[in-house]
Amino acid sequence: MSIRKVGVLGCGLMGSGIAEVAVKAGFDTVVREVNQELLDKGMGRIRGSLDKAVEKGKLAAADRDAALARLRGTTEFSDLADRDLIVEAIVENVEEKAKVYAAVGAVAGEDVILASNTSSLTVTQLAMASKRPDRFVGLHFFNPVPVMKLVEVVRTLMTDDAVVTDVNEFCRAIGKDPVQCRDNSGFIVNRLLVPYLLDAIRALEEGVGTVEDIDKAMQLGCGYPMGPFTLLDFVGLDTTYYIANIMFDEYREKRFAPPPLLKQMVQAGRYGRKSGRGFYDHARK
Ligand code: CAA
Ligand code: NAD
């Protein structure tokens, strides 16, 4: 495998998780955020998660220290110049993603593999925006990244075979179990999961049950680890709203349409766990 040095764009919920699993698996990793404050927050999340693993006896303190020594945070694109693989995990917005690919393209080497953690945009449009479509692939991780074993690997008509081989090997090297997906908006998981989550909101709008009872019903009745509203708060209502809009735009099917309540929650700044309030009040926990 040609991948030794990893770069991560964005140190939010997903970028911090991806950087964490990469350094834990021994990869030298640089993570880039837009400003120092957000970088400090994201790096703090990684340190906190590794500390928790040590507390729980899942990771030796020396291995945590070695992992942290392999991790570097930056706000400069130029620090990504020597990376073999760069995984983009910034906001779910095609214009923003295209801007960072242009900035990366200006500094990165010819052979760099560029991957997007997009949930719902087609990898083809991102690959074209990157201007190096043969070296571009989708690597869709799941939240929380340190726990969820799956990565959806998404190739396009243009992706080099060697790139697909290398990223699959990288996924296995960081302890993940990859599946191969066609480049359809939402791939496998979100094509099935997003209509379910949106339908839970519609059920709430229609008064079928309360937030708590709908969650309890799906946990106790179906054995789901989290009810849909706990999961929505966990994923982020802002991110879910962006995903729903993108998937609705792609398929024009009602099951992907964002319900009015979701839009209002986002307009009200209730993004879920990340903002302290979503369908649940997380500030009190
Ligand atoms: N980082 C590291 N480890 C974590 C963690 C985190 N953020 N959160 C939980 N864990 C670990 C805990 O330490 C615990 O480990 P041990 O059993 O070894 O002690 C284990 O996970 C279970 O955690 P808890 O006992 O605290 O809680 P739980 O049993 O409810 O599990 C969960 C937590 C794994 C998150 C579980 O609730 C779950 O699987 N939820 C569903 C998550 C899901 O569906 N994710 C996909 C979201 S969709 C997506 O990601 C795609 C997209 O594009 C939007
Ligand atoms: P988030 O809001 O937690 O984090 C996004 C981060 O990207 C923010 O910290 C933001 O400052 C940063 N950012 C924005 N522009 C940037 C730039 N130009 N350079 C570097 N950083 C920049 O969002 P998230 O949940 O981590 O989602 C990130 C990506 O992962 C999205 O494409 C999303 O669809 C996808 N995803 C999310 C989940 C989930 O459960 N939340 C799961 C799988 C995939």
Ligand nearest to the CA of 242: 2
pLDDT tens-digit map of 185-231: 999 999 999 999 999 999 999 999 999 999 999 999 999 999 999 99
Residue 61 and residue 10 share a domain: yes
Write down which residue in 128, 157, 181 finishes a domain.
181
Residue 163 and residue 221 share a domain: no
Q: What is the CATH number of the domain that holds 215?
A: 1.10.1040.10
Residue 209 and residue 176 share a domain: no
pLDDT tens-digit map of 84-142: 999 999 999 999 999 999 999 999 999 999 999 999 999 999 999 999 999 999 999 99
Domain count, the chain: 2
Residue 89 and residue 195 share a domain: no
Nearest Cα residue to atom 44 of ligand 2: 119
User: Has residue 9 been placed in a domain?
Assistant: yes
CB 147 less than 6 A from any atom of ligand 1: yes
Ligand nearest to the CA of 88: 2
User: Has residue 214 been placed in a domain?
Assistant: yes
pLDDT tens-digit map of 37-49: 999 999 999 999 9
The per-type count for the chain, helices as H runs and strands as E runs, is 11, 8
Among residues 30, 249, 91, 12, the alpha carbon closest in space to that of 99 is found at 91
Q: Which amino acid is at 130?
A: S
Q: What is the CA radius of gyration of the chain?
A: 19
**DSSP label of 258:** P
Residue 9 and residue 83 share a domain: yes
Distance 12 CA to ligand 2 centre (A): 5
| Cα 279 from chain centre | 21
Residue 255 and residue 163 share a domain: no
Q: What is the CATH number of the domain that holds 154?
A: 3.40.50.720
- Across-strand partners of 72? 30
Pocket test of ligand 1: the residue of 45, 116, 147 to mutate, having most ligand atoms within 8 Å of its CB, is 147
- The range of the structural domain enclosing residue 239 comes to 189-275
Q: Which amino acid is at 107?
A: V
Least confident of 9-13, 108-112, 167-171: 108-112
Catalytic machinery residues:
119, 140, 152, 190
Say what the pTM is: 0.97
Residue 155 and residue 257 share a domain: no
